[in-house]
Chain A
Amino acid sequence: GAGVSQSPSNKVTEKGKDVELRCDPISGHTALYWYRQSLGQGLEFLIYFQGNSAPDKSGLPSDRFSAERTGGSVSTLTIQRTQQEDSAVYLCASSLVLVSDTQYFGPGTRLTVL
């Protein structure tokens, strides 16, 4: 079946602009996660949703970052007033029900802030 999809695959933006990244999880997966991977670095957890609720938003790097999920499916990660240090690959993953169920990753969105 279809895997996790993300759009856009690449986004180049100017410093100070807002960007919106989209994630479509695997159909039927109720848990959804956002991670960030900077060049040559590991994966940094940002936020996860159980259904439409995010139990803990403390992993978001700053108040410029926000995320929402509607209908228990699509999620958007919004970065306001982008900074150069926001440049990274943003990865979305989903799992069936629990946080500890196997997570499947999307292809990522490569964000470049000029």
Chain B
Amino acid sequence: GENVEQHPSTLSVQEGDSAVIKCTYSDSASNYFPWYKQELGKRPQLIIDIRSNVGEKKDQRIAVTLNKTAKHFSLHITETQPEDSAVYFCAAWGGADGLTFGKGTHLIIQP
């Protein structure tokens, strides 16, 4: 089955700086890669996703890049704000197993 590794587990950045979270996956057949934001005690919310037929996707301050050859994808958040503080999960769809999630990154935005 699919295996997703996510780094770092904790990331602290100054407000206004950029944050980058990286994930690798194992199943070359995976073709859908969503990112979820989860605030404390709340459900995961999809913030951006990318499919294997594109290399990059942007939505305002958030972007995701995908390198299929290297089997890794990254989340980029620019001009970070206090409300960006949360746990972020990457995931990959590897066929009939549903989504396989990374273990999460706790993003802390320092004022």
Which A residues lie at the B interface, using CB under 8 A? 33, 35, 41-45, 47-48, 55-56, 59, 91, 99-100, 102-108
Contacts and interface: CB of A to CB of B under 8 A. Distances in A.
A48 B98 CA distance: 7
Contacts of B42: 107
Contact of A102 (B49, B95, B98, B101): B49
Interface of B: 31-32, 34, 36, 42-46, 49, 51, 89, 91, 93, 95-104
A49 B32 CA distance: 18
The 7 A-B pairs with the shortest beta carbon distances in the complex, nearest first, are: A100-B32, A45-B98, A43-B101, A42-B103, A105-B43, A48-B98, A56-B96
Q: Is the interface of B mostly helix, strand, loop or mixed?
A: strand
Contacts of B100: 45
B89 A42 contact: yes
Contacts of B36: 105
A41 B103 contact: yes
Given A33-B98, A99-B98, A102-B34, A107 B43 contact: yes
Contacts of B31: 100
B102 A42 contact: yes
Contact of B96 (A35, A55, A105, A106): A55
Contacts of B103: 41-42
Given A45-B98, A106-B43, 9 more contacts: A35-B99, A41-B103, A45-B101, A47-B98, A91-B44, A99-B95, A102-B34, A103-B99, A107-B42
20 contacts: A33-B98, A41-B103, A42-B103, A42-B104, A43-B101, A44-B101, A45-B99, A48-B96, A56-B97, A59-B97, A91-B43, A99-B93, A99-B95, A99-B98, A100-B51, A103-B46, A103-B99, A104-B46, A105-B45, A106-B43
Nearest to B103: A42
B67 to A, nearest CB: 19
A100 B36 CA distance: 15
